[in-house]
């Protein structure tokens, strides 16, 4: 890639490529400019030449952003029919991740995700906490126990669903993940979703909802409706940690779960588990 490329354009193209990566598009193709349109028989329009030039530059940016090993692993991952093997390929690609600052800020281990690789229902939280960082599994502390109760109240077991977080390392002091940390880590989550192919995703809390949907809105507006997330239905409810702080909202969370149960064809139950 030319070193004379304007820095602003370089950043814009890099953002553009990452946007398509997050949509699950990793391969870019470029047609050679021949100067003649084979269908119409007319000279290639300047706009087409400009688009092709941008595509060529975008490919170069993509190559700069992602090493050949990661690209090869991703191709292998999507050629695997077994979701469990696909998830193992993603975990292998993630490695002992040092892609953001969190690996220097006290995290003990990466918390990848847990559950049924063929799950119809996937829960996505914010980030690991102290217990999760210690055990290497998401939602194993007090909030995790409440999530387990919520899952049982739906007539399911923890082993029936898949559970993950937006980011896979504990932020220091359990602070809210920074935007760049979410942007760095979330592509691995997107690949997990693509491999599992759940029928329904439940975003737990504002951070998960806003990151997945790219919508800056209060929970009161995000809840109670369905969203189309890359062909999968997505619902938003309160994070279990929030419900521990404000148990009055458990009834509202149960309404959200009943909406999910109806979509999945699960039998209706009278009340939620406390």
DSSP-derived secondary structure for 2-51: -TTS-HHHHHHHHHHHHHHHHTT------PPP-SB-TTT-SBPPHHHHHH
Instruction: Note whether 171 and 259 are same-domain residues.
Output: yes
Predicted TM-score (pTM) above 0.85: no
Instruction: Note whether 210 and 108 are same-domain residues.
Output: yes
Instruction: Note whether 164 and 239 are same-domain residues.
Output: yes
Instruction: Note whether 53 and 147 are same-domain residues.
Output: no
Task: Quote the CA–CA distance of 49 and 3 in Å, as a whole number.
Answer: 21
Number of domains in the chain: 2
Task: Quote the CA–CA distance of 132 and 214 in Å, as a whole number.
Answer: 26
pLDDT at residue 19 in the model: 59
**Which tokens belong to 53?**
């030039």
**pLDDT tens, residue by residue, 145-176:** 999 999 999 999 999 999 999 999 999 999 99
pLDDT at residue 37 in the model: 43
Question: Does 189 fall in a domain?
Answer: yes
Give the pLDDT mean for 266-271.
Answer: 76
Beta strands in 157-265 (DSSP E): 162-165, 200-204, 227-229, 232-237
Instruction: Note whether 121 and 244 are same-domain residues.
Output: yes
Instruction: Note whether 56 and 119 are same-domain residues.
Output: no
User: What is the domain range of residue 129?
Assistant: 100-264
Longest dimension (CA), the chain: 71
Task: Quote the CA–CA distance of 108 and 188 in Å, as a whole number.
Answer: 19
Question: Does 125 fall in a domain?
Answer: yes
pLDDT at residue 29 in the model: 44
Give the pLDDT mean for 171-185.
Answer: 95
């Amino acid at each position: 890639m030319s070193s004379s490329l304007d820095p602003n354009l370089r950043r814009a193209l890099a953002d553009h490529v990452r946007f398509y990566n997050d949509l699950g598009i990793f391969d870019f193709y470029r047609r050679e400019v021949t100067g003649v349109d084979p269908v119409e028989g007319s000279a290639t329009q300047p706009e087409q030449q400009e688009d092709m030039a941008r595509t060529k530059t975008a490919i170069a940016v993509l190559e700069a952003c992602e090493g050949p090993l990661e690209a090869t692993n991703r191709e292998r991952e999507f050629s695997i029919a077994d979701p469990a093997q696909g998830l193992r390929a993603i975990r292998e690609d993630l490695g002992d991740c040092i892609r953001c600052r969190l690996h220097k800020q006290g995290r003990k281990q990466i918390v990848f995700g847990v559950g049924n690789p063929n799950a119809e229902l996937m829960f996505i939280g914010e980030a690991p906490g102290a217990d999760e960082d210690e055990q290497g599994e998401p939602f194993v502390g007090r909030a995790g126990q409440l999530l387990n109760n919520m899952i049982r109240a739906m007539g399911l077991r923890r082993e029936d669903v898949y559970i993950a977080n937006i980011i896979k390392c504990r932020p220091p002091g359990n602070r809210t993940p920074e935007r760049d940390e979410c942007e760095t880590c979330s592509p691995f989550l997107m690949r997990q979703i693509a491999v599992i192919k759940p029928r329904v995703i439940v975003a737990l809390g504002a951070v998960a909802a806003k990151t997945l949907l790219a919508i800056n809105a209060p929970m009161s507006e995000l809840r109670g409706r369905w969203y189309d997330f890359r062909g999968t239905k997505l619902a938003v409810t309160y994070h279990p940690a929030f419900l521990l702080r404000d148990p009055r909202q458990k009834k509202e969370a149960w309404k959200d779960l009943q909406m999910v149960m109806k979509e999945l064809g699960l039998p209706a139950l009278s009340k939620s588990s406390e």
